[in-house]
Structure 1
Amino acid sequence: MKISELTVRYGRFTAVDSLSLEVPAGSVVGLVGESGSGKSTVARAVAGLTPCRGTVTGIDRARIQMVFQDPYSSLNPRMTVGASIAEGLGPQVRRAERTAGVARLLDLVALPAAAADKYPRELSGGQRQRVAVARALAAQPELLIADEITSAMDVSVQGAVLNLIRDLRTELGLSMLFISHNLAVVRYVADIVAVMRSGRLVEAGPVDEVIGSPQHDYTRALLDAVPRLAHS
């Protein structure tokens, strides 16, 4: 997928300014920056949820799925986990196949088949995020966009979800745009990192190169906020 000259404006305010970025097939690109840098706006624009100028090529927009920061708000509290996931499989799938498909997707995100009968309120935050990922995968996306999906979690739950993302990438060969404010998180899951500031892309490249030898002062400032990364 290739993003070219992506621009998002709200009135006179420019949230994203002529951003160009490529997500190679089968790779994870981490888009990082402080709150308000425009990275989540990029995610929503690429997914077709926000009006924008510019082009997104090399992918059918219908094959893009997005997982949001708060899984509880993105899951219907009146629907069981199984019903929510089954929606992504499409109406053409027969009932018996839907049941098997839901079970397969739950297994893929390391949840028991019995979770299909539960409601979102009965699950932990980490479990709900796994359900959100399973629902997104049900649509067989070419690109998965993960928007700050671990930022509200404690460290142990965050680690489990990040391991899940790595495992899914390996098993399914997924292409991902992974949004985060945390360079340590991005380094763990991404091949390529792109750094945003005030709606613009200031630096991009292989994750170890950008973290090991940052070229922009803003990237260095982000690294300084994560001491173990800065000195690794």
Structure 2
Amino acid sequence: MTVRFGSFTAVDNVTLEAAKGEVTGLVGESGSGKSTLARAVAGLIPYRGTITGAERGRVQMVFQDPYSSLNPRMSIGDAIAEGTRVPRSGQAAETARLLELVALPTSYTAKYPRELSGGQRQRVAIARALAARPDVLIADEITSALDVSVQGAVLNLMRDLRSELGLTMLFISHNLAVVRYVCDAVAVMCHGHLVESGPVDAVINTPRHDYTRALLDAVPRLAHT
């Protein structure tokens, strides 16, 4: 896949594989091209190349800032129901099921985004993405806008959802420690290029590229074993 904006190439001839039922991490610093790649996969920006294994419309994305990605004038129930693939008569039950799936009370259907905390809003955004029953779920820095106290709970939720639903997921982060906790495999991007990829423990324990080693050095708590 290649993504260009005028004469600027944001993603240059990147090939990325995400195994079915597994979580693939995509890491890199700000400006590395990882979010641009994700938006292209989700069909939000034009690109040159092909996407296989997921039909267009069956790729859903959860964004970094849950408040800006939710319509403030739409109730939580309506926001989730909008994306469901069930008849209107079954939308209320499906919305309740999705809220329970992300560990929120079904009574939240009547609430609005402004009434929820950041962590709760992100859970709603995840439920809304799951409503479309996607082949691939893209999580773009979904904890970076949250308080540290709730980041772990959201990461645990993603692990539980992957286990329960068998999700195929592209998980984007700048933090290799987070990627190690959530992902099965990882791909490292630098200046629009894919510089290294493989099983997450192999890449983290024995990095081959200098850029990967620099990312590891930026996470002091992550031991090189």
**TM-score relative to the length of structure 2:** 0.98
Question: Partners in 2 of 1:190 and 1:172 — Cα distance?
Answer: 15
Q: Give the structure 1 partner of residue 142 of structure 2.
A: 149
Listed as ranges, the gaps of 5+ residues in structure 2 are none
Q: Give the structure 2 partner of residue 163 of structure 1.
A: 156
Where does 1:53-68 land on structure 2 (aligned, <5 Å)?
53-68=48-63
Alpha-carbon displacement from aligned partner over 1:159-179 (angstroms, at most 9, x marks no partner): 000000000000000000001
Alpha-carbon displacement from aligned partner over 1:194-214 (angstroms, at most 9, x marks no partner): 000000000000000000000
Q: Does 1:94 align with 2:88?
A: yes
Q: Give the structure 1 partner of residue 77 of structure 2.
A: 82
Question: Partners in 1 of 2:65 and 2:146 — Cα distance?
Answer: 10
Q: Give the structure 1 partner of residue 192 of structure 2.
A: 199
**Aligned residue among 113, 119, 128 for 1:126:** 119
Percent identity (aligned): 74
Alpha-carbon displacement from aligned partner over 1:63-118 (angstroms, at most 9, x marks no partner): 1100100111111111100000000114x6133x1111111000000000111110
Question: Partners in 2 of 1:148 and 1:161 — Cα distance?
Answer: 11
Question: Partners in 2 of 1:129 and 1:28 — Cα distance?
Answer: 19
Q: Does 1:50 align with 2:60?
A: no
Question: Partners in 2 of 1:154 and 1:81 — Cα distance?
Answer: 21
Question: Partners in 2 of 1:110 and 1:47 — Cα distance?
Answer: 26
> Runs of at least 4 residues of structure 1 off by over 2 A?
none
Q: Give the structure 1 partner of residue 219 of structure 2.
A: 226
Question: Partners in 2 of 1:94 and 1:217 — Cα distance?
Answer: 53
**Greater mean alpha carbon deviation, residues 138-147 or residues 151-160:** 151-160
**Aligned residue among 5, 10, 16 for 2:5:** 10
Q: Does 1:182 align with 2:175?
A: yes
Amino acid at match of 1:45: A
Root-mean-square deviation (CA, aligned residues, Å) is 0.9
Q: Give the structure 2 partner of residue 117 of structure 1.
A: 110
**TM-score relative to the length of structure 1:** 0.95
Listed as ranges, the gaps of 5+ residues in structure 1 are 1-5
